[in-house]
């Protein structure tokens, strides 16, 4: 069995962060006097970093000053409340342990701010994944391939052995830009029809399917 470098998206793929994100977005919107968003609305706009999340949550036409105010309120609230309701998806941890036991090496690659990613990694995934990389100053965020290439190099395996796992159109584009096979999951932040329209070729419906899907690549 050849070990693979498995690059895992975080939010919506292995970690269900939606409720905490929604709570912090709506806290910030309320503090700034704007209408709140439904959980379903927020589900469809997460996945491409906090700037995109706040931009799309706010009404159109707000000033730069208002945007910055809402962003800072969100960041402060989320930092204090990011683990209130967040947890790995059911069945994810046993699958990651099995993949590790089979000799595969794994890294988390996320557009979430690096400090938050590292904290969540230490809390939930440090015993299965080798490291986690979030949005930082020295690499462009996904769908640019740079974070993926950096992570593969750190895992110490050739790119030919790498596979990307994610839940959104951003992840599909990231894998394409990196020249990697992509496994999409349907239990996260995007509906299956969105994944198909975005070019998904392999879509899983349960974490139990992940080991077999990895071995087939």
CATH number of the domain bearing residue 191: 3.40.50.1000
Angle formed by the axes of helices 114-124 and 64-81, to 10°? 20
What range defines the domain where residue 69 resides?
18-81
Task: Give the mean model confidence (pLDDT) for residues 194-213.
Answer: 97
> Which of 19, 20, 35, 13 shows the shortest CA–CA distance to 89?
13
Q: Name the average pLDDT for the chain.
A: 96
Last residue of a domain, one of 81, 107, 134: 81
Coil, strand, or helix at residue 184? strand
Side-chain half-sphere of 11: how many Cα atoms within 13 Å? Answer: 33
Report the CATH number at residue 62.
Answer: 1.10.150.240
Q: How many helices (H) and strands (E) does the chain have?
A: 10, 8
Task: Please pick, among 9, 11, 20, 171, the residue that the annotation labels catalytic.
Answer: 9
pLDDT at 1 over 90: no
pLDDT band for position 27 (cuts 50, 70, 90): very high
Task: Give the mean model confidence (pLDDT) for residues 11-32.
Answer: 97
Strands (E), 39-174: 87-88, 105-113, 131-135, 162-166
Number of domains in the chain: 2
Task: Give the mean model confidence (pLDDT) for residues 135-151.
Answer: 96
Do residue 90 and residue 158 come from a single domain?
yes
pLDDT band for position 153 (cuts 50, 70, 90): very high
9 is catalytic: yes
Task: Give the mean model confidence (pLDDT) for residues 145-156.
Answer: 97
**Global model pTM greater than 0.85:** yes
Q: Is 73 left (phi over 0), alpha (psi -120 to 50) or beta?
A: alpha
Do residue 60 and residue 158 come from a single domain?
no
């Amino acid at each position: 069995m050849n070990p693979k470098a498995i690059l895992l998206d975080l939010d919506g793929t292995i970690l269900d962060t939606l409720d905490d994100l929604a709570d912090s977005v709506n806290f910030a919107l309320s503090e700034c006097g704007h209408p709140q968003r439904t959980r379903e609305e927020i589900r469809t706009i997460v996945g491409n970093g906090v700037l995109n999340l706040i931009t799309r949550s706010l009404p159109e036409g707000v000033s730069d000053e208002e945007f910055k105010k809402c962003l800072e309120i969100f960041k402060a609230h989320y930092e204090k409340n990011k683990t209130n309701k967040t947890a790995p998806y059911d069945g994810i941890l046993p699958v990651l342990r099995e993949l590790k036991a089979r000799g595969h090496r794994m890294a988390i690659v996320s557009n979430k701010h690096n400090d938050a990613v590292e904290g969540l990694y230490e809390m939930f995934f440090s015993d299965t994944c080798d490291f986690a990389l979030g949005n930082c100053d020295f690499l462009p965020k996904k769908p640019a391939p740079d974070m993926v290439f950096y992570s593969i190099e750190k895992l110490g395996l050739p790119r030919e052995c790498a596979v990307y796992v994610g839940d959104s159109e951003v992840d599909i584009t990231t894998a394409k830009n990196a020249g990697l096979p992509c496994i999409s999951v349907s239990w996260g932040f995007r509906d299956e029809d969105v994944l198909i329209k975005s070019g998904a070729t392999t879509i899983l419906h349960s974490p139990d399917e992940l080991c077999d899907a990895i071995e087939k690549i």
